[in-house]
């Protein structure tokens, strides 16, 4: 806990002096800090590049991936630098809503409403601006550092709004809507336990249907809110109210409402992709209950050799990663062999040298060849974790010391290495 307190003090000590300088200075500093973060935080850099590469709706070149990823880091740096300005209310960024009239009119008529947004530019400005005109609450998950969490919550609540935690928050949100208040939800996080999945920027993604559920249950309209940068601060825009049809069955109306909201969010991201937070894992496919966090990635490269047991390896990995994107690389001799299941892409190579090309398409590499150069090569791009077969066996032995590797099939090695239970699936 003391380390967390020191981290909080160190961050505030860095931010406080900058709150005295003009806002333009902060913008210039964010450009430098964003580039430094892009260089010095390889895991987040690789996640950003991988997400951009696999967002098929964008169709980006390798150079465009890097430009947008850097812009995303710089925008995040600007958001972080502005927390102290917002806290001190000193030389704060100018926040302007271009079309608040419809929302204000609804509020005056005591009509509750649900604001839905994503991590676009400075998302904190939305709640601060909204609570200058209306009474409302917003969902917010506490940070792991309690001192930092309490400080940021105080910033968010400084204009009269209240933050609520997701656990048990549905009941408070329903009550607020019935009282004519607004509810704010940042709804672009990956939620594999939510039970609702749809295409997002061309890839399947899990999303919480809470906004649509609240709208259906209370009759409150949904409003999509976006934030865009200006020279002096932020510009906020609201969509027209999206009203639920409570005569339609809930299992049809909730997906319809979510589709509208997510389409509006996607359109805003496509308009200016550098404004979105690409480093957060929007497309994670599993909860922490099955796969170790180290190996819980949504895009996986699998390189097999001629000696590999293709059927066992691919069948096992498909069972472990049923929703993830699997990219399979096979020797040419396997071209006539049908795969045991569907995968995202299949590529054939004559020699492993053929694979040494720029590739941002997966975060986890499982290398079943003897070529160690492949590991070093792919880690230069978006690969965060790379395992070869000896490493897998070593990890499996560490997790399950009773394994006898001379007789152990690769299937059991994979289960013991990658999963929490280390047991064969039933």
Output the pLDDT for position 405.
59
CA distance 83 to 86: 5
Per-residue pLDDT of the chain (426 residues; tens, 9 = 90+): 889 999 999 999 999 998 888 888 889 999 999 999 999 999 999 999 999 999 999 989 999 999 999 999 999 999 999 999 888 876 678 889 999 999 999 999 999 999 999 999 889 999 999 999 999 999 998 989 999 999 999 999 999 999 999 888 899 999 999 999 999 999 999 999 888 999 999 999 999 999 999 999 999 999 999 999 888 888 999 999 999 999 999 999 999 999 999 999 999 999 999 999 999 999 999 988 889 999 999 999 999 999 888 889 999 999 999 999 999 999 998 888 888 888 899 999 999 999 999 999 999 999 999 998 999 999 999 999 999 989 998 888 887 776 665 566 888 889 888 988 655 443
Which DSSP string corresponds to 234-247? EEEEEPPPB---TT
Domains and CATH numbers, the chain: 2-275 (3.40.1130), 293-418 (3.40.50)
Output the pLDDT for position 166.
87
Q: The tokens of 65 are what? A: 């991936």
Q: Which residues contact 299 (CB under 8 A, 6 or more apart)?
A: 50, 54, 283, 324, 325, 327, 344, 361, 362, 363, 364
Q: Among candidates 260, 355, 283, 287, which has minimal Cα distance to 56? A: 283
Output the pLDDT for position 406.
55
């Amino acid at each position: 806990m003391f380390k967390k307190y020191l981290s909080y003090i160190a961050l505030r000590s860095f931010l406080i002096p900058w709150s005295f300088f003009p806002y333009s200075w902060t913008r210039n500093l964010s450009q430098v800090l964003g580039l430094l973060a892009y260089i010095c935080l390889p895991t987040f850099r690789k996640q950003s590049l991988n997400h951009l590469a696999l967002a098929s709706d964008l169709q980006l070149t390798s150079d465009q991936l890097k430009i947008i990823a850097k812009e995303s880091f710089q925008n995040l740096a600007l958001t972080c630098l502005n927390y102290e300005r917002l806290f001190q209310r000193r030389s704060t960024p100018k926040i302007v809503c271009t079309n608040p009239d419809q929302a204000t009119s609804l509020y005056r008529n005591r009509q509750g409403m649900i604001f839905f947004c994503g991590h676009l530019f400075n998302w904190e400005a939305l709640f601060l601006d909204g609570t200058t005109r209306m009474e409302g609450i917003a969902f917010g998950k506490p940070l792991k550092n309690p001192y930092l969490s309490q400080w940021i919550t105080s910033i968010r609540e400084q204009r009269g709004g209240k933050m609520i935690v997701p656990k048990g928050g549905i009941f408070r949100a329903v009550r607020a809507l019935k009282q004519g208040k607004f509810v704010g939800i940042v709804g672009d996080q990956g939620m594999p336990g939510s039970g609702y999945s749809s295409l997002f920027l061309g890839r399947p993604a899990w999303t919480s249907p809470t906004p649509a559920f609240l709208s259906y249950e209370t009759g409150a309209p949904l409003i999509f809110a976006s934030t865009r940068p200006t020279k002096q601060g932020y510009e906020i825009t609201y969509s027209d109210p999206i009203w639920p049809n409570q005569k339609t069955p809930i299992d049809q109306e909730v997906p319809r409402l979510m589709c509208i909201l997510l389409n509006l969010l996607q359109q805003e991201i496509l308009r200016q992709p550098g404004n979105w937070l690409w480093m957060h894992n929007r497309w994670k496919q599993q909860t922490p209950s099955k796969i170790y966090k180290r190996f819980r990635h949504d895009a996986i490269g699998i390189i097999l050799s001629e000696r590999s047991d293709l059927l066992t390896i691919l069948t096992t990995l498909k069972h472990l990663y049923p929703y993830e994107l699997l990219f399979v690389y096979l020797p040419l001799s396997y071209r006539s062999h049908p795969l045991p299941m569907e995968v995202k892409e299949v590529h054939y190579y004559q020699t492993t040298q053929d694979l040494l090309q720029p590739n941002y398409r997966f975060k986890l590499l499982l290398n079943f060849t003897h070529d160690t150069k492949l590991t070093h090569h792919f880690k230069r791009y978006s690969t965060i974790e790379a395992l070869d077969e000896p490493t897998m066996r070593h990890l499996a032995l560490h997790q399950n010391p009773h394994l006898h590797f001379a007789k152990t099939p690769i299937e059991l090695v994979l289960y013991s290495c990658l999963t929490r239970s280390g047991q064969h699936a039933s």
